[in-house]
C-alpha cells in the first residue's frame, strides 16, 4: 500500500477532539485481542498538506544510496543475513554478549558421565530430548566454570540448562574428592520455596544412582531443626536465600555440639558465616525478583557478605525470567556479587507471547488517529515503540505529529546518512526518544534494546509476507510483553487481507471479521471469479 491519501469529501473522518466518548472507554486489551467495533465519524478541522511539514524535504530526501552502503558495511563486517523470511516454528535466536573466545555451543549430551546420562534416557522420570537453544549456550559455560546470566521465559530450559552440566561436574569432583572436605561444591539459592521444590525434583531425577549427597532445607524445617545427619559430606546445598542466612544466624553463636555440627555440615565452622572453602558454583535462581529495595535483594546482600568472608571465587550463575525494563533486576548488584565478567544470554519470548491486532482504517485521518490514540491518548504511558511506514515523507509527518502531542519521537529513513542513522538509534536506544518512526527499508537497523510495541502505520508496498520474520524479531528484543498493531485500509488493502489473516493465524491470534469480509470482497472482484460467473 502506498502512502494513504485523503479520500473524497463524502468519506467520514474522526479526530481526537470529536472522537465518540464510548470509543475512548474501549480498553486496549480489547484492541490487542483482535475483537472490537470502531465507528469513524466527524470531519477534520482542516486538511493537512506538505506545506505543514517543518522538515526541509530537499535535505531529508537528498540523494544518498544509504541502503547499498549499509549493506556493503555489513558484508565487510561479516553481518548475518536472514535468507528465510518465513515465521520460525521454533524459538527465535538467543541473544548474547561477552562470550569467551572460541566459544562453541553444545548440541548433544555426549559430555555426560554414564551415571548421569542413564537418568535422562527415554522412559526415565526426566527425559531430555534435543537441547533447547538457550541450553546449548549454558552447558559449555557451566562446564568451563564461567559466570553468566541466563534470562528467558518459562519453558526455555533455564533450570535444566545449568543442572545437567552442574550435576555432571559434581560427579567428576566426587571422583577426585579431597580428604577432609566438609563443605559443598555447589550452593543453589532461590527466592520462593515453590522453586526450591521444582529444583529438588529435577536434581533427584538427575542424581539417581550417583553418590552425590544433597541437602535441601525449607524455612519450616529450619525452625524445627536440632541436628542433621553427621555421616556424610555434602556435595550440594539448596535453600532459599533467607533460609541460608537465617540458618547461620540461628546456629552461629551457639556452643551446643549438635548445633555446631549443623553449621559444619554446610561447610562452616563456629564463629564464621559460611566459609565454603570448596565451593565452585553459586546459583542465584529467580533473579528477576532482585529489584531495587526488594526483600530478595536484602537477603542476597546478606548472603554476599557471608560468602565474601570465605575468600573464594566461585562461578556465579544468575537465572532470571523475562521482565519489563521498568522492573529490571539490579544489574550493578549482579556485578558486585560476582566480582568478575559476566556472560549474558537472553532467550526471546515464544510466539505465544505476541499479541496482534488489526485496526480498520478508511482514510488518512483514520491511520493518524489510531497512532495518536495508541501513543498520545489520555492516560497512555508510552512504551518503547516502533512505527513503520512506506515513504520518508510519511515518516516525517508522523514524527512531527507525535512531537506536537508531546510524545518523544525520532525518525529514521533509508535516505538518512550513516551518522544520522546512528544518532537516531542512539536516542532511541537510550530512551531519550521512546518512539522511533521508520520506513520499512530501515527495518534492519532497528536491532537494539527493548521493543514492546510495533505499529504498522500502513502495510508495506512489497509483499507483506516477506516481512513476517523481521516483524516478529523486531518485537522480540529482550522484552516480555509484545504487541503488534496492523492498520489495514478496508478499501485499498483488499489484496493483502489474506496475508494479514495468515500472519495472525500463524501466531495463533484471533482475527476480526472485517478482514474476512475484505478477503471475500477481493475474491469476488478477482478476474477468476468474474470468469466463473
Cα 188 from chain centroid (whole Å): 24
Mean pLDDT of 4-19: 36
Q: Are 225 and 320 in contact (CB under 8 A)?
A: no
Distance CA 265, CA 21 (A): 68
Mean pLDDT of 255-259: 40
**Confidence tier at 214 by pLDDT (50, 70, 90):** confident
Hey, what's the cell of 418? 550513516
Beta-strand runs (E) in 203-288: 214-217, 236-240, 281-284
Residue 27 φ then ψ, to 5°: -75, 150
**Confidence tier at 349 by pLDDT (50, 70, 90):** low
Q: Which residues contact 523 (CB under 8 A, 6 or more apart)?
A: 529
- Position 45 scores a pLDDT of 36
Q: Which of 298, 277, 280 is nearest to 289 (CA)?
A: 298
Mean pLDDT of 449-470: 79
Distance CA 431, CA 410 (A): 11
Burial category of 109 from C-beta neighbours within 10 Å (exposed 0-12, middle 13-18, buried 19 and up): middle
Distance CA 216, CA 247 (A): 12
Distance CA 501, CA 241 (A): 48
CATH of domain 110-176+183-346: 3.40.50.300
- Is the pLDDT reported for residue 82 higher than 50? no
Q: Which of 49, 66, 50, 68 is nearest to 58 (CA)?
A: 50
- Position 278 scores a pLDDT of 75
Helices within 146-233 (DSSP H only): 158-175, 193-206, 219-224
Convert the pLDDT of each residue in 45-60 to its tens digit. 333 333 333 333 343 3
Burial 492-506 (b: 16+ CB within 10 A, else e): bbbebbbbbbebbeb
- Is the pLDDT reported for residue 275 higher than 70? no
DSSP 419: H
Convert the pLDDT of each residue in 171-190 to its tens digit. 888 777 655 566 678 899 99
| pLDDT, mean over the chain | 72
What's the number of CA atoms in the CB half-sphere (13 Å) around residue 262? 23
Same fold, 21-81+352-532 and 110-176+183-346: yes
Please, what CATH class does the domain formed by 21-81+352-532 belong to?
A: alpha beta
Distance CA 458, CA 80 (A): 27
Q: Where are the domains of the chain?
A: 21-81+352-532, 110-176+183-346
Beta-sheet pairing, 343-346 with 95-97? antiparallel
Percent of the residues in the chain that have a pLDDT greater than 90, as a whole number: 10
Amino acid at each position: 500500500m502506498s502512502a494513504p491519501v485523503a479520500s473524497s469529501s463524502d468519506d467520514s473522518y474522526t479526530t481526537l477532539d470529536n472522537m465518540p466518548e464510548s470509543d475512548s472507554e474501549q480498553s486496549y486489551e480489547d484492541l490487542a485481542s483482535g475483537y472490537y467495533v470502531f465507528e469513524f465519524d466527524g470531519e477534520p478541522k482542516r486538511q493537512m498538506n506538505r506545506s505543514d511539514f517543518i522538515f526541509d524535504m530537499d535535505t531529508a530526501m537528498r540523494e544518498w544510496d544509504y541502503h547499498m552502503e549499509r549493506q556493503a558495511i555489513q558484508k565487510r563486517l561479516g553481518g548475518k543475513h536472514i535468507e528465510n523470511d518465513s515465521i520460525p516454528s521454533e524459538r527465535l535466536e538467543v541473544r548474547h554478549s561477552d562470550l569467551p573466545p572460541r566459544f562453541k555451543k553444545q548440541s548433544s549430551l555426549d559430555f555426560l558421565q554414564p551415571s548421569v546420562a542413564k537418568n535422562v534416557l527415554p522412559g526415565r522420570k526426566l527425559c531430555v530430548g534435543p537441547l533447547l537453544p538457550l541450553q546449548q549456550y549454558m552447558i559449555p559455560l557451566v562446564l568451563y566454570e564461567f559466570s553468566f546470566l541466563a534470562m528467558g521465559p518459562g519453558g526455555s530450559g533455564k533450570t535444566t540448562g545449568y543442572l545437567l552440566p552442574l550435576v555432571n561436574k559434581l560427579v567428576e569432583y566426587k571422583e577426585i574428592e579431597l580428604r577432609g572436605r566438609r563443605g559443598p561444591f555447589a550452593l543453589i539459592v532461590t527466592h520462593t520455596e515453590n522453586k526450591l521444590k521444582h529444583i529438588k525434583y529435577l536434581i533427584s531425577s538427575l542424581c539417581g544412582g550417583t553418590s552425590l549427597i544433597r541437602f535441601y532445607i525449607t524455612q519450616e524445617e529450619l525452625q524445627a531443626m536440632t541436628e542433621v545427619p553427621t555421616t556424610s559430606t555434602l556435595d550440594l546445598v539448596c535453600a532459599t536465600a533467607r533460609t541460608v542466612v537465617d540458618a547461620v544466624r540461628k546456629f552461629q553463636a551457639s556452643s551446643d555440639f549438635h548445633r555446631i555440627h549443623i553449621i559444619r555440615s554446610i561447610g562452616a565452622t563456629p564463629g564464621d558465616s559460611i566459609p565454603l572453602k570448596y565451593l565452585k558454583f553459586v546459583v542465584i535462581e529467580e533473579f528477576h525478583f532482585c529489584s531495587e529495595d526488594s526483600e530478595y535483594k536484602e537477603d542476597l546482600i546478606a548472603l554476599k557478605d557471608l560468602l565474601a568472608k570465605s575468600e573464594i571465587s566461585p562461578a556465579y550463575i544468575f537465572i532470571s525470567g523475562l521482565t519489563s525494563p521498568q522492573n529490571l533486576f539490579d544489574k550493578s548488584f549482579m556485578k558486585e556479587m560476582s566480582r568478575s565478567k559476566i556472560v549474558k544470554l537472553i532467550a526471546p519470548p515464544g510466539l505465544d507471547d505476541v499479541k496482534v491486532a488489526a485496526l480498520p482504517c478508511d482514510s488518512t485521518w483514520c491511520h493518524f488517529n489510531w497512532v495518536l490514540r495508541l501513543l498520545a491518548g489520555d492516560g497512555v504511558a508510552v512504551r518503547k515503540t516502533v512505527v513503520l511506514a512506506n515513504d520518508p515523507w510519511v515518516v516525517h509527518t508522523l514524527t512531527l505529529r507525535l512531537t506536537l502531542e508531546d510524545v518523544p519521537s525520532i525518525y529514521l529513513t533509508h535516505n538518512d546518512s550513516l551518522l544520522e542513522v546512528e544518532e537516531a538509534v542512539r536516542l532511541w536506544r537510550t530512551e531519550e526518544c521512546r518512539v522511533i518512526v521508520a520506513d520499512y527499508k530501515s527495518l534492519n537497523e532497528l536491532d537494539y534494546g527493548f521493543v514492546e510495541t510495533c505499529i504498522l502505520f500502513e502495510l508495506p508496498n512489497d509483499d507483506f509476507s516477506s516481512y513476517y520474520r523481521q516483524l516478529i524479531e523486531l518485537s522480540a528484543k529482550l522484552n516480555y510483553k509484545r504487541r503488534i498493531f496492523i492498520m489495514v485500509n478496508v478499501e485499498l488493502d483488499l489484496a493483502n487481507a489474506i496475508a494479514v489473516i495468515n500472519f495472525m493465524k500463524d501466531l495463533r491470534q484471533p482475527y476480526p471479521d472485517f478482514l474476512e469480509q475484505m478477503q471475500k470482497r477481493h475474491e469476488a472482484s478477482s478476474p477468476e471469479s468474474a470468469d466463473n460467473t
